[in-house]
Structure 1
Amino acid sequence: MTIQHRTVDIEAASKLWKDDLSASQIAKRFGVSRNVIVGIAFRNRAFFPEKQRSKSTRPHKAAPAPRKVETRKPYTPHEREPVPVNDYDVRRLPYAKRLEDLLPGECKWPLNSGGPYLFCAAKAAGKYCEHHQSRALASQRITKRGQA
């Protein structure tokens, strides 16, 4: 058979096929692509008996070991302990506001841990007033030291 300006002898190819050579190896001998040999084998099934398919050569992927329930920590949305209340927070409580009542430039530091949540509402340059800004930075430093 003439394909791609080359001649592939079907009988010779079928003998190589029966000798258990792969389509790629047969293609190299005839100077054609693997797909040409596969196509010829498909069209001339009488000459090319079906080969036993071998199992995958990929290594078997082992199933991961089941996780032990005892070793898992239960999920808690707030893993860090809340910052403890101090005297400043207690003095700010009468002036505290709910979140929806806060205006721009007021401190957004929560003063209590139950509903309705109340926030500091002191004058602030950013999110927090000077006092709460320093406490936030101090708690970050403590957290970073604990991780190291």
Structure 2
Amino acid sequence: MTIQHRTVDIEAASKLWKEVLSASQIAKRFGVSRNVIVGIAFRNRAFFPSKPRACNCRPHESKRAPRKDKTAMRDRKPGTIIIPSHKYDLERLPFAKRLLELRPGECSWPINDGSPFLFCAAKTAGKYCQHHQSRAIAVHRIMKREK
């Protein structure tokens, strides 16, 4: 096959492929790019059998460590201010909604810290209801004092 004014012998390339040479190594021998060899191998799949995938090089570490539960927010940054749960939040829990269920004019204050996140959903004119707005301002003042 002639590509970029160079000839690549498909049978010779497939023989090198079967000898477990990489596409880059074959490309160097023919003076073409790796993508040319990959394209030829793709178009002539009968001559280029699929290579076995590399197995895990570390068999003693084959099992992954369990993932940390990010939805519960257990690993917070050290400088993060954690706003404790409030009695009002517990009262709002039966009326709470998920983020996708919130409509405009409903409070978007998260009232739990687990999966799934639930939001206050009380009627409001802004982003938060009156109670959560006052709590947000109080936290903002605390942060200003600490700086």
- Which is higher, the Rg of structure 1 or of structure 2? 1
In the superposition, the TM-score normalised over structure 2's length comes to 0.47
